């Protein structure tokens, strides 16, 4: 959770910085938003690669734990169903 929050916060801050910089340059309206999204996306792709990797591994670990619990639950359901079939 902490890695996801850090990455998301950094992305938002980069977008705001790009927005402010482009506004000072003279971009306005929808063009300002589009350019800020594009610029912050490109910069964050390069600058935040390590943070993105940390977030990805954190989410993968969490999903792996959920997957194990789902498999365990499925096994218990199958076991219960097979006992009922024997009756």
Report the pLDDT value the prediction gives residue 68, as an integer from 0 to 100: 86
Helix (H) or strand (E) holding 47: helix 29-47
Report the pLDDT value the prediction gives residue 29, as an integer from 0 to 100: 96
Cα–Cα dist 60/75, whole Å: 22
Contact in structure between 11 and 44 (CB atoms under 8 Å): yes
Signed CA dihedral, 54, 55, 58, 63: sign only: negative
Please, what is the angle between helix 2-25 and helix 49-86, to 10°?
Answer: 140
Mean pLDDT (the chain, rounded): 90
Minimum mean pLDDT range among 16-20, 26-30, 77-81 = 77-81
Longest distance between any two alpha carbons in the chain, whole Å: 78
Sorting pLDDT into bands at 50, 70 and 90, what band is 77? confident
Sorting pLDDT into bands at 50, 70 and 90, what band is 84? low
């Amino acid at each position: 959770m902490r890695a996801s929050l850090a990455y998301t916060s950094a992305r938002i801050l980069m977008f705001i910085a790009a927005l402010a910089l482009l506004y000072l340059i003279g971009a306005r309206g929808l063009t300002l938003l589009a350019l800020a999204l594009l610029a912050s996306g490109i910069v964050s792709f390069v600058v935040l690669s390590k943070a993105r990797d940390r977030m990805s591994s954190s989410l993968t670990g969490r999903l792996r734990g959920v997957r194990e619990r789902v498999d365990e639950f499925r096994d218990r359901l199958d076991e219960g169903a097979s006992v009922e079939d024997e009756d």
